[in-house]
């Protein structure tokens, strides 16, 4: 006979917010297929530092004390991704509210003692530079702990490149500002990518300069790799594949461009667990304020990859005259900078795409497109500044 998986015993709690949180955790565990505590702990390696043991996961479900907030939110994300029909971002937001109510209940309970409160544990920290001595840091407030849901910035890499000045095509004066400010919006600590691990190339000399940087990032990235391009896109007349226009590219000479397929080949061999490609580009670019649309790219067969594009195959992507950024990149920067009101603690790819799509629809602008494999849409890009900042008293 096969082994019988035992259910985790629910703690004995009085009716109230703490019991509501415990019941919700057990129900989510059931919907996720009741993975073992060892399976859950294994899924959190590289997410929490130090990684939790399976006994800490077991205690989260069975102990009467209020569970640690960071551990709770990370476990919720793991389980929600495994449960059919659940939105992980919405579940994280729901459990954040449940935890806050339980914490407030605990603060107001005159009979509560240390067995009811979360067990202390070391706070995650970024390693200090070699030879640098830091004083002991005070305990972090609960709100910055949302960073535990983010990728490990030290193991992430980003390459952002764009072309604003063209010798033979209409220039795009809004590209440089978009390139600079998008890199800043994605930067640690509010974003997933440390500045020292991000490479920004404006008006690169040639394809070799770009591909060398992409290859280096592909080799170094272990967690998440992000590639972004803004400029003109051209369609190869023979293969119909996308080419990225460089400063000296000509529309009648495909050999002067960077074939996107070269970037795709590098992605295929990267050891990064997750890959994000963002393309704000065109294939014709007939005027200074208009960029042509690009064909959808064959990225679905690359494991762990998500692709965001500025427009559908049959629409142009705008670079409006007088605006500081291209239409797509401008909205992306604004979302990362200012967040989504009423949203969850982190801005994952799927939430960012939905907000981009909503804004484009409201303004009657070209609709962005997204291709994502598996749960890649749940990849966090940045903390959500609009997530409520108050903590229970």
Domain spans in the chain, listed from the N-terminal domain onward: 17-108, 148-383
DSSP codes of every residue in 242-263:
EEEPPTT-BTTBGGGSEEHHHH
Cα–Cα dist 281/315, whole Å: 12
Q: What is the pLDDT of residue 140?
A: 32
Q: Which two tokens stand for residue 260?
A: 């996107």
Say how many C-beta atoms besides its own lie within 10 A of residue 202's C-beta. Answer: 16
Q: What is the pLDDT of residue 119?
A: 67
CA distances from 163 to 176, 217, 249 (A): 7, 20, 11
CA distances from 269 to 87, 111, 265, 303 (A): 30, 58, 7, 11
Topology given in CATH for the domain delimited by 148-383: Rossmann fold (3.40.50)
Q: What is the pLDDT of residue 373?
A: 66
Contacts of 58 (CB under 8 A, 6+ apart): 8, 37
Q: What is the pLDDT of residue 221?
A: 93
Task: Identify the CA nearest to 280 among candidates 239, 227, 218, 358.
Answer: 227
- Phi, psi for residue 27 in degrees, rounded to 5: -70, -40
Q: What is the pLDDT of residue 28?
A: 92
83 class by beta-carbon count within 10 Å (0-12 exposed, 13-18 middle, 19+ buried)? middle
Run means of pLDDT, 10 residues per run, the chain, 393 residues: 62 90 93 87 72 88 88 86 76 86 78 65 43 35 50 91 92 92 91 92 93 95 93 78 88 87 86 89 36 40 74 60 88 93 86 92 86 75 74 39
């Amino acid at each position: 006979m096969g082994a019988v998986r035992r259910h985790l015993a629910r703690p004995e709690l009085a009716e109230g917010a703490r019991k509501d949180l415990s019941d919700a955790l057990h129900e989510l565990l059931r919907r996720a297929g009741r993975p073992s505590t060892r399976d859950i702990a294994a899924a959190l390696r590289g997410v929490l530092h130090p990684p939790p043991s399976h006994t800490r996961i077991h205690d989260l479900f069975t102990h009467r004390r209020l569970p640690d907030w960071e551990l709770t939110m990370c476990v919720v994300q793991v389980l929600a991704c495994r449960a059919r029909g659940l939105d992980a971002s919405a579940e994280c937001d729901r459990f954040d509210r449940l935890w806050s109510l339980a914490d407030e209940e605990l603060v107001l309970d005159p009979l509560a003692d240390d067995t009811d409160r979360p067990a202390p544990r070391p706070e995650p920290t970024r390693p200090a530079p070699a030879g640098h001595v830091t004083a002991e840091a005070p305990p972090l407030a609960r709100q910055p702990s949302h960073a535990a849901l983010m990728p490990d910035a030290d193991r992430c890499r980003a390459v952002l490149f764009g072309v604003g000045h063209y010798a033979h095509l209409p220039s795009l004066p809004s590209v440089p500002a978009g390139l600079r400010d998008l890199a800043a919006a994605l930067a640690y600590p509010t974003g997933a990518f440390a500045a020292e691990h991000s490479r920004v190339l404006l008006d690169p000399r040639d394809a070799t300069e770009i591909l060398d940087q992409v290859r280096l990032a592909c080799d170094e990235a272990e967690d998440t790799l992000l590639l972004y391009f803004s400029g003109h896109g051209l369609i190869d007349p023979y293969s119909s594949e996308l080419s990225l226009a460089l400063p000296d590219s000509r529309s009648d000479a495909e050999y002067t461009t960077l074939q996107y397929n070269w970037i795709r080949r590098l992605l295929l061999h990267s050891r990064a667990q997750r890959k994000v490609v963002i393309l704000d580009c065109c294939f014709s670019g007939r005027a200074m304020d208009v960029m042509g649309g690009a064909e959808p790219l064959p990225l679905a067969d690359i494991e762990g990859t998500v692709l965001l594009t500025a427009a559908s195959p049959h629409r142009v992507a705008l670079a409006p005259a007088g605006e500081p950024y291209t239409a797509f990149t401008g909205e992306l920067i604004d979302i990362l900078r200012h967040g989504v009101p009423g949203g969850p603690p982190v801005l994952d790819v799927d939430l960012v795409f939905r907000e981009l799509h909503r804004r484009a629809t409201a303004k009657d602008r070209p609709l962005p497109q997204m291709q994502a494999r598996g749960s890649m849409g749940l990849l966090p890009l940045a903390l959500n500044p609009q997530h409520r900042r108050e903590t229970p008293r």
